[in-house]
Structures are given as structure tokens and as C-alpha cells.
Structure 1
Amino acid sequence: PQRRPGWTLTGVAYAGDDRTGVRATAVACAGPAPLDDGPADLVFVAEEPGVGLGTRLAGLAGPDPGPELVDALTDPGPGHPEHVGQARIRVGGHPTPLWLVNSPTDRSAYAGEARGMWLHAIAWPASAGHLLAEDVVLHDLTEWTPPELVYGAPSPYLSGRA
């Protein structure tokens, strides 16, 4: 069998200013799509409430995903158990649920909260959201950078070209 290529880091971005400092951070990765042979892009965003970087990338209205999360939590759909539409990632060693929110059809977007920060995971194409069904562990790269980290071409999603 042929080995599929792995994931590469394709960008890091932040939102903030000189007065308030960094209030949101985004990390982009690219790799193989889980359901076909095409490429997939995945962007993780951690931000303070009211910034809006994650909702902009997810294609949502407003600065926070709160209204979308209310819909996801109160109406998982007929006959669906509560865990449908949920991704479980580990942040800082703690399990952290993210819920599927209503986003444009070209992507899938998940949102949740940890330690007072909004967390977003946005995947292109929409089917790449299945990547979040795997064990995803987020690390603070300021504390530790894995030696096997591979860098790829810059993400069009962080530069506004996509």
C-alpha cells in the first residue's frame, strides 16, 4: 500500500493591536481529505469573546458563535442523540467538546469554549470535518514545538485569498 502524505502547518495568524495585545490566534494545517483523494484544510482559532476571527472564517454572522451554539445544543435534529454533530478534542490535557454550527456548504465549522476562550475548528471542504472524529490534541506551541513539525505552502484561508 502507498503511504499518504501527512499534515503540514500552513500558517499562523493573530488578531489584536498594540493597545490590547493579541486577542485571537489561528493555526492552519493542510493534508489529505479523509473521504477522498483531494486536499483538505483545517484552521483552529482560539479567541477572546467579541473578537470575531473564528466566526468570520466559519462564515457566521456576529463576533461570537453563541447563537449558533444555542441552536446546536437545543435542536440536534429529529432522532439524533445529543453527541451527533459534536467533536471532542483535547486542549491543555482536558477533553473539550466542539459542536457543529451552521456554516456555508463549502466548509464545516465547529465551535466551543475552554478557559473563557472561544474555540473554532473550520475545515474545507465540508467533508474534511470528519477529521475531527479522530483524536485531536491541541498544544500550546509557545510551550513546546514538536521536532517533526512540517511547514507547507501558505494557507489561502488566513490571507483572505479563499
Structure 2
Amino acid sequence: MRGEPSCPKCGSRVRAPGLFSDSWQCAVHGAVQPLQPVVPPSVEGLGVIVARARVPVWMPWPLPIGWLFTGVAAAGDDRSGGRATAVACSGPGPVGGMGEMVLVAEELGVGLGARYAGIDGPDPGAYLNVSRSPDAKVIAGGRPTPLWHVSGAPEDRAVFVGEARGIWLWAVVWPEQSGLLMYEELVLADLRDAGAEVELVPCGALSPRILATD
């Protein structure tokens, strides 16, 4: 996944557009938005993703005390721009130990959020019951944004999903107990609006979670 574009839904290698197709192709899922190779977290790498993104690049801002930016990924090609973004952060968990979070913004059907969530995708679908009251709320881009707990995810993580700026917002947190962070009304900033403040983001080591290998 670090070297070549892959399928955001399954991680398989994808075939570039060519003579017989004008879209990136996965042998399993057909036409997809290619997931670009992951690079180690840095302000410069984050800036490249932010500049290309057609969807929000969400990050808790300010970051919780002791937390660091630990990776970023994006799905989309040079022609279409970033149609999904994923930002990883890591730091002290609310009940001890280390916590990790991946925030995904994506257009309908991309499937990156479901992959991090560990559920069948590409969208929340049957895993989401919005007829009941939301389970958590964040402030995303200055607006109160309800999130619902996603059922059926692996027991090692807590998954929440909602809609912000007209597209999916996923929050995937490890371990499951660190999902308590989502009840603290986190403030999420779209880094496309942050300007020079992006240079202030504290960077840590690359999180294995952003590689979405499990």
C-alpha cells in the first residue's frame, strides 16, 4: 500500500485507466477511486493531501492533550482530486494506555471508511440506525454534527458515522474503550480552511492503523 495505488475497499492492486477503461479498476470491485500510497506523517505530506482534497480533511483541533498527527491517506487520482481522506491521530487514551483515531471524510460509494471500520461497505447501510437518537456529537467545521454508533464492527474498535458538509464522516477509534473520546464533543477542523495553521500540527510516528491492513 505504500508503493502503488490500491483499492480503498479491499487493498488490492488496481489497474490504471487505459485503452478499455477511463477509470481505475479493481478486479473485485470494478471502478474505484484509487487509494494513494501512504507516506510517513509530516506537515509537507499533509499539505499535499489538503491541496488536492475535494472533501474535508478532518482533524481534532486543537488535538487532545498529548495527541499527535500520525498519518494521512487519500483516495482519488490527479484528474478527480481527493474523493476520500483519512487522518490518523494517536495519544493517551481516556482510560489509560494509547488510543488511536482515524477520521474519514468520503463521498458516497468510495468505501474507505467501511474498510477502517472493518465492516462490509462501501457505505454504512444496514449497520446504521438513524431513527434513534445519535450516540455522540462533534463540532465539524463549526456545526454540531450528530454521530451514530455503528453495529457489527470488530470488538477491538468503536465506530461512529454521520454526515458533515453533505458527505460521510467516519470516526474509528482503537481500542474500543477509547470511544469515550467521542462523548466529549470534539471539535473537528477541516484542514482545507486552516491555512498556515497546518504548519503547527504536531507529528508522531506513522500509525499502523492508517495502513488499514486489518
Separation in structure 2 between the aligned mates of residue 143 and residue 69 of structure 1, nearest angstrom? 29
How far apart in 2 are the matches of 1:113 and 1:147?
27
Q: CA deviation at 1:54?
A: 0.4
- What residue ranges of structure 2 are gaps of 5+ in the alignment? 1-64
Cross-structure match for 1:101: 150
Q: Is 1:66 aligned with 2:116?
A: no
Could you give the per-residue CA deviations for residues 108-134 of structure 1, whole angstroms, max 9, x where no partner exists?
000111222100000000001001111
Aligned to 2:204: 152
**Which residue of the other structure, out of 68, 92, 107, is the alignment partner of 1:48?**
107
- Aligned residue for 2:25? none
Check conservation: 2:108, 2:167, Cα contact below 8 A. Answer: yes
CA RMSD of aligned residues (A): 1.9
| Change beyond 3 A, Cα 1:159–1:97 | same
Give the distance between the partners of 2:82 and 2:136, measured in 1 at CA.
26
Instruction: Say yes or no: does 1:92 pair with 2:141.
Output: yes
1:8-87 correspondence to structure 2 within 5 Å: 8-36=68-96, 38-70=97-129, 73-74=130-131, 82-83=133-134, 86-87=135-136
SS state at 1:142 partner: helix
TM-score, normalising length from structure 2? 0.64
SS in 1 for 2:120: coil
Return structure 1 stretches of 4+ with deviation > 3 angstroms: none
Q: CA deviation at 1:158?
A: 1.2
Aligned equivalents of 1:51 and 1:128: distance in 2? 26
Partner secondary structure for residue 35 of structure 1: coil
Q: How far, CA to CA, are the matches of 1:40 and 1:32 in structure 2?
A: 6
Deviation at 1:147, TM superposition (A): 6.0
Moved more, 56-65 or 17-26: 17-26
**What amino acid is aligned across from residue 145 of structure 2 in structure 1?**
T
Amino acid across the alignment from 1:156? P
Letter in 1 for 2:113: G
Structure 1 unmatched ranges of 5 or more: 77-81
Aligned residues: 148
For 1:86-143, what per-residue CA distance to the aligned partner results, in whole angstroms no more than 9, with x for missing partners? 1100111100011000111010000111222100000000001001111311111122
1:127 aligned onto 2:177: yes
Structure number with greater CO (CA < 8 Å, separation at least 6) is 1
How does the TM-score come out when normalised to structure 1? 0.84
1:137 and 1:121 mapped to 2: Cα distance? 13
Give CA deviations for 1:8-43 in whole Å, capped at 9, x if unaligned: 00011101123322110011100011112x101011
Q: Percent identity?
A: 51
